[in-house]
């Protein structure tokens, strides 16, 4: 319903004018991300994400833009359309994070659980650089891009990368910056071994499994071979190349 005094051109911005509730709504699931829930809402109402956001008069084409910050007006529009409380909408975004956690939380999806993604889910913990297995079904998360096929990834590398991921989580959540600095040093070394470029914190949230797994495994390898005890860089290079991954899978730079 539109107020008679409302100028038509200003309709989207007039406070209090909300889009009609959607014909169908779906309940958000535990740990679901706002963008993922919006996708499920769109699918339930036979439209795509961009069409849904346009209908809601939210000025973005991608729901992922709302995952870290949804303003009160947008939360109210979504809540009204989906017939839920605005607090529910806000609860689907990331809570306030420490700078360390934020640096290890991806702005865009870089991995997912095949099992849960098939059901249309997109979960919050998948965005953490340290997330390795799906917390809902236990399946190992897979990167969204990658040259390697799943069967090409050695069990040894997965084992080490999983341990590295656990260490990364401890480091991200620890009080001091020391642990994370150590982990990132190992990642930087791993990157130099494979000539990966960029920021080490992005390497561990890389959508390519060949980058991410190798760098996570390096964190675990550095724990068993502390850098401080090694005299030279080349000594580290030799040990790291052996320790991080299977030569067969990744080859070795001489
Ligand atoms: Zn899952």
C-alpha of residue 109 to centroid of ligand 1, in Å: 15
C-alpha of residue 78 to centroid of ligand 1, in Å: 26
C-alpha of residue 130 to centroid of ligand 1, in Å: 16
C-alpha of residue 100 to centroid of ligand 1, in Å: 26
C-alpha of residue 38 to centroid of ligand 1, in Å: 19
Quote the CA–CA distance of 90 and 70 in Å, as a whole number. Answer: 7
What dihedral do alpha carbons 138, 144, 147, 153 form, nearest 10°? -10
User: How would you write the pLDDT of the chain (254 residues) with one tens digit per residue?
Assistant: 333 333 333 334 445 556 789 999 999 999 999 999 999 999 999 999 999 999 999 988 788 889 998 999 999 999 999 999 999 999 999 998 888 999 999 999 999 999 999 999 999 999 999 999 999 999 999 998 866 677 778 888 899 999 999 999 999 988 888 999 999 999 998 898 888 889 999 999 999 988 899 999 999 988 776 555 545 555 556 656 666 655 444 444 43
C-alpha of residue 162 to centroid of ligand 1, in Å: 16
Look up the pTM and report it: 0.81
C-alpha of residue 29 to centroid of ligand 1, in Å: 13
């Amino acid at each position: 319903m539109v107020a008679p005094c409302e100028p038509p051109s200003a309709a989207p911005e007039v406070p209090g004018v909300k889009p009609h509730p959607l014909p169908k709504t779906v309940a958000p699931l535990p740990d679901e991300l706002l963008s993922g829930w919006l996708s499920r809402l769109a699918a339930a109402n036979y439209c795509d994400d961009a069409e849904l956001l346009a209908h809601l008069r939210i000025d973005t084409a991608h729901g992922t833009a709302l995952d870290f910050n949804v303003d009160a007006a947008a939360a109210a529009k979504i809540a009204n359309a989906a017939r839920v409380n605005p607090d529910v909408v806000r609860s689907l975004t990331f809570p306030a994070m420490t700078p360390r956690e934020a640096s290890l939380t991806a702005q865009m999806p870089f991995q997912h659980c095949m099992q849960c993604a098939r059901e249309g889910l997109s979960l919050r913990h998948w965005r953490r650089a340290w997330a390795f297995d799906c917390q809902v079904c236990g399946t190992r998360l897979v990167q969204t891009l990658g040259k390697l096929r799943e069967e090409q990834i050695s069990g040894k590398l997965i084992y080490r990368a999983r341990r590295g991921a656990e260490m990364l989580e401890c480091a991200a959540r620890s009080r001091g910056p020391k642990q994370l600095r150590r982990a990132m040093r190992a990642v930087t070394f791993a990157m130099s071994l494979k000539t990966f470029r960029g920021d080490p914190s992005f390497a561990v949230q890389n959508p390519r499994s060949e980058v991410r797994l190798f760098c996570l495994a390096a964190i675990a390898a550095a724990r068993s071979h502390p850098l401080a005890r090694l005299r030279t860089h080349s000594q580290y290079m030799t040990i790291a190349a052996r320790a991080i991954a299977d030569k067969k899978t990744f080859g070795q730079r001489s």
